[in-house]
């Protein structure tokens, strides 16, 4: 089923103005003498009728009315050559057929787009399993926001696992859109779910993920990802960041970016082939009551009406919520308000609070 289509306000206003001009032209023609005619402008009527509709019968009906008006004006403008009046009729007929055909074509393409997107979304939701609300001493909340209906589904991914070593998390974003991105995300998550259980270090997990993406080929395909390990309460948390936006740690009213301290950070997954150095593991304090916010670039690259990016760090610092669920809901509401209700790219949020 094709989704309801509604023209932007300014486009509707222009269409109304065009119809008003046509009506004024017809009235002027009828009020003047029979020596000239403006009937050729009626060919614009079915074209206007086809703007913004997905029903071919609308431009066909308007075209039929325009043909009747051509006949009426032809009778009124008796001094105008018959050949000119016939030409006006053929012009209306031609634009009516073209406008109706265009409406059918656009509606068909939109249905195909909706179907393709629904398949990709179903595949994406199948691999993005619900995360546990509690895992060890952590509370977790996830929010996933799909982009606007005319955008292609993205390859955002996330997972939270309890392993023999402690809790392990990943959030990532595949370069590209559509089913290929979803397939890559599925490979990354499948590898992470297995490697996180058996590999002792996050760097070893990251190297296996890198190899999994490289095996897919494709040349330019890569994945940004942040991997985190949260163990015992008295031990620091660990992060390996493969080209992903840095997580934020909220401690009271202070928000800190968790960034690698090395001059050159680790590259995205699939781009490590020529670098044999071990992955850099960043350790940071994550104590009871602290909150971690992991996100994809669909959050920070959301723009408002003036083109400004969403200021996640400063907005997060002013939010008093301590529950992951409440904070995630507040962030989503604030993000959508900033972006005018819709996003141009898929976005994922993963909020984690240390309980003890």
Round to whole Å and give the CA distance between 110 and 207.
Answer: 41
Dihedral through CA 275, CA 277, CA 278, CA 280, nearest 10?
-90
86-99 burial by CB neighbour count: b if 16+ within 10 A, else e?
eebbebbbebbeeb
Task: Tell whether 179 and 324 lie within a shared domain.
Answer: yes
What is the length of the chain?
356
Identify the band that residue 2 occupies on the pLDDT scale cut at 50, 70 and 90: very low
Confidence at residue 3, expressed as pLDDT on a 0 to 100 scale: 47
Confidence at residue 263, expressed as pLDDT on a 0 to 100 scale: 58
Nearest residue to 345 via CA among 180, 155, 184: 155
Task: Tell whether 44 and 192 lie within a shared domain.
Answer: no
Task: Tell whether 54 and 143 lie within a shared domain.
Answer: no
User: CA 7, 8, 13, 14 torsion: positive or negative?
Assistant: negative
Concatenating the DSSP letter of every residue in 217-240 gives --SS--EEEEEEEE--TTSPEEEE
Task: Tell whether 116 and 191 lie within a shared domain.
Answer: no
Nearest residue to 292 via CA among 257, 261, 248: 248
More confident: 34 or 216: 216
Confidence at residue 171, expressed as pLDDT on a 0 to 100 scale: 97
Residue 348 in domain: yes
- Evaluate if residue 73 carries a pLDDT over 90: no
Output the domain CATH number for residue 155.
3.60.40.10
pLDDT digits (tens, 9 = 90+) for 172-201: 999 877 778 888 888 999 999 999 999 999
Cβ within 8 Å of residue 67, ≥6 positions away: 89, 92, 93, 96
Concatenating the DSSP letter of every residue in 284-332 gives E---TT-EEEEE-HHHHT-B-TT-PBP-HHHHHHT----SHHHHHHHHH
Cite the DSSP H helix spans in the chain.
9-31, 44-49, 57-76, 82-127, 178-198, 202-215, 297-300, 312-317, 324-338
Task: Tell whether 113 and 142 lie within a shared domain.
Answer: no
Range of the domain at 47: 9-120
Task: Give the tokens for residue 245.
Answer: 């936006």
Residue 43 DSSP one-character state: G
pLDDT digits (tens, 9 = 90+) for 300-315: 999 999 999 999 999 9
Task: Tell whether 247 and 167 lie within a shared domain.
Answer: yes
Query: How many domains does the chain contain in total?
Result: 2
pLDDT digits (tens, 9 = 90+) for 312-356: 999 999 999 999 999 999 999 999 999 999 898 889 999 999 987
Q: What pTM was estimated for this model as a whole?
A: 0.69
Cβ within 8 Å of residue 220, ≥6 positions away: 175
Question: Is-contact 309 245, C-beta < 8 A?
Answer: no
The pLDDT mean for the chain works out to: 85
Confidence at residue 130, expressed as pLDDT on a 0 to 100 scale: 85
Alpha-carbon distances, residue 349 vs 145, 227, 246, 292, 327 (angstroms): 9, 14, 13, 10, 10
Which residue do the tokens 């593991």 mark?
281
Q: Does residue 37 come out as left (phi exceeding 0), alpha (psi in the -120 to 50 range) or beta?
A: beta
Residue 155 host element (H or E): strand 155-163
Confidence at residue 78, expressed as pLDDT on a 0 to 100 scale: 67
- Evaluate if residue 295 carries a pLDDT over 70: yes
Residue 1 in domain: no
Task: Tell whether 20 and 83 lie within a shared domain.
Answer: yes
Identify the band that residue 1 occupies on the pLDDT scale cut at 50, 70 and 90: very low
pLDDT digits (tens, 9 = 90+) for 128-182: 888 899 998 999 999 998 876 555 566 889 999 999 989 999 999 998 777 788 8
Using the 3D structure, point to which of 120, 143, 175 is the last residue of a domain.
120
pLDDT above 90 covers a percentage of the chain that reads: 45
Confidence at residue 233, expressed as pLDDT on a 0 to 100 scale: 85
Round to whole Å and give the CA distance between 290 and 251.
Answer: 5
pLDDT digits (tens, 9 = 90+) for 94-130: 888 998 898 888 888 888 777 766 766 666 666 788 8
Residue 93 in domain: yes
Cβ within 8 Å of residue 234, ≥6 positions away: none
- Evaluate if residue 85 carries a pLDDT over 60: yes
Residue 2 in domain: no
Task: Tell whether 218 and 242 lie within a shared domain.
Answer: yes
Task: Give the tokens for residue 172.
Answer: 């990532």
Identify the band that residue 5 occupies on the pLDDT scale cut at 50, 70 and 90: low
Task: Tell whether 108 and 186 lie within a shared domain.
Answer: no
Nearest residue to 237 via CA among 256, 224, 212: 256
pLDDT digits (tens, 9 = 90+) for 275-294: 778 899 999 999 999 999 99
Task: Tell whether 101 and 151 lie within a shared domain.
Answer: no
């Amino acid at each position: 089923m094709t989704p309801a289509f509604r023209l932007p306000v300014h486009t509707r206003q222009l269409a109304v103005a065009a119809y008003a001009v046509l009506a004024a032209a017809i009235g002027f023609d009828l009020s003047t003498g029979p020596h000239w005619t403006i009937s050729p402008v009626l060919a614009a009527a079915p074209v206007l009728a086809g703007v913004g509709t997905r029903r071919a019968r609308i431009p066909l009906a308007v075209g039929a009315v325009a043909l009747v008006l051509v006949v009426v004006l032809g009778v009124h403008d008796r001094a105008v050559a018959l050949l000119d009046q016939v030409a006006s009729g053929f012009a209306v007929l031609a634009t009516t057929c073209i406008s109706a055909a265009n409406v059918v074509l656009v509606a068909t393409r939109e249905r195909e787009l909706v179907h393709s997107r629904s398949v990709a979304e179903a595949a994406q939701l199948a691999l993005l399993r619900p995360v546990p609300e509690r895992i060890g001493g952590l509370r977790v909340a996830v929010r996933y926001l799909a982009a606007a209906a005319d955008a292609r589904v993205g390859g955002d991914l996330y997972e939270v696992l309890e392993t023999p070593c402690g809790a392990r998390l990943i959030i990532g974003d595949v370069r590209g859109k559509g089913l290929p991105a979803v397939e890559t995300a599925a490979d990354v998550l499948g590898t992470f779910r297995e490697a996180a259980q058996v590999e002792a270090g996050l760097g070893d997990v990251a190297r296996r993920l890198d190899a999994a993406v490289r095996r897919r080929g494709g040349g330019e395909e890569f994945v940004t990802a942040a991997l985190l390990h949260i163990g015992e309460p008295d031990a620091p948390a660990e992060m390996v960041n493969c080209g992903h936006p840095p997580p934020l740690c909220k401690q009271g009213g202070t928000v800190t970016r968790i960034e690698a301290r090395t001059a050159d950070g680790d590259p995205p997954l699939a781009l490590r082939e020529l670098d044999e150095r071990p992955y850099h593991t960043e350790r940071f304090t994550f104590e009871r009551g602290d909150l971690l916010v992991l996100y994809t670039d669909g959050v920070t690259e959301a723009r408002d009406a003036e083109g400004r990016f969403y200021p996640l760090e400063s907005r997060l610092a002013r939010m008093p919520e301590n529950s992951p669920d409440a904070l995630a809901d507040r962030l989503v509401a604030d993000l959508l308000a900033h972006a005018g209700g819709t996003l141009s790219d898929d976005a994922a949020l993963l909020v984690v609070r240390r309980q003890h």
